[in-house]
Chain A
Amino acid sequence: EAGVTQFPSHSVIEKGQTVTLRCDPISGHDNLYWYRRVMGKEIKFLLHFVKESKQDESGMPNNRFLAERTGGTYSTLKVQPAELEDSGVYFCASSQGLETSPLHFGNGTRLTVT
């Protein structure tokens, strides 16, 4: 089966610009998560979709971040306008959502805001 894929793998933008990250989960996985790792710190939860609905967005840092999951398939995470502190690696993961289900991760998008 195809794994979780993320685009782009790297993005370098200037402060104030907009960037959109995309995630394609494993087919059939209703649960999709976004995480972020900043400067070697822990992987922090951003939000969780079940199908097209936002189940939990408590980790979204502020209203400059907007996530969508059209039709319950792929998801996008838009940062507008980007700030320096948004730099980091953004991971997407999907799972079957059972209690013991592992998360399947994409390779991440490394975002650098200059």
Chain B
Amino acid sequence: GDSVTQMEGPVTLSEEAFLTINCTYTATGYPSLFWYVQYPGEGLQLLLKATKADDKGSNKGFEATYRKETTSFHLEKGSVQVSDSAVYFCALSVYSGGYQKVTFGTGTKLQVIP
């Protein structure tokens, strides 16, 4: 079946450091890819998405590129802030049988220290 693998956390970085959270996937179809973020005490929010190969999703300084050849969708940010501390989930969505099915990774907790 479909699956998403993320790097295990927690990840601890100093403010202004470069962030990479790795995500790879396996899917039977041609998925859309998403990053969701969960800030403390809140629900999941869509951070960015990409719907086809070589697309780059971006938001709030975060970027991820849909790499079909490596089945990856790594999340990057050039300079993290304390406010970026959260849990980040990689996900894929496949349209099958007339409906959308979404599969999530385990989540990666990011802690940014001043």
Which positions in A face B, CB cutoff 8 Å?
4, 6, 31, 33, 35, 37, 40-45, 48, 50, 55-56, 91, 93, 95, 97-108
Partner of B49, one of A37, A102, A104: A102
Q: Is B18 an interface residue (CB 8 A)?
A: no
Which positions in B face A, CB cutoff 8 Å?
4, 32, 34, 36, 41-46, 49, 51, 89, 93, 95, 99-107
| Interface class of chain B by DSSP | strand
Interchain CA distance A104-B101 in the complex, whole Å: 14
Partner of B44, one of A41, A98, A100, A105: A105
Interchain CA distance A55-B96 in the complex, whole Å: 12
Say how far B21's CB is from chain A's closest CB, in angstroms.
15
Interchain CA distance A26-B105 in the complex, whole Å: 24
Q: Quick check: A100 and B105 within 8 Å, CB to CB?
A: no
Say how far B8's CB is from chain A's closest CB, in angstroms.
10
A-B CB contact pairs (8 Å), 10 listed: A6-B43, A37-B107, A40-B106, A42-B4, A98-B95, A99-B93, A100-B93, A103-B46, A103-B102, A105-B43
Partner of A45, one of B43, B102, B105: B102
Contacting residues, chain A, for B103 (C-beta < 8 A) = 45
A-B pairs with lowest CB-CB distance, top 5? A99-B95, A107-B43, A43-B104, A105-B44, A42-B106
Contacting residues, chain A, for B89 (C-beta < 8 A) = 43
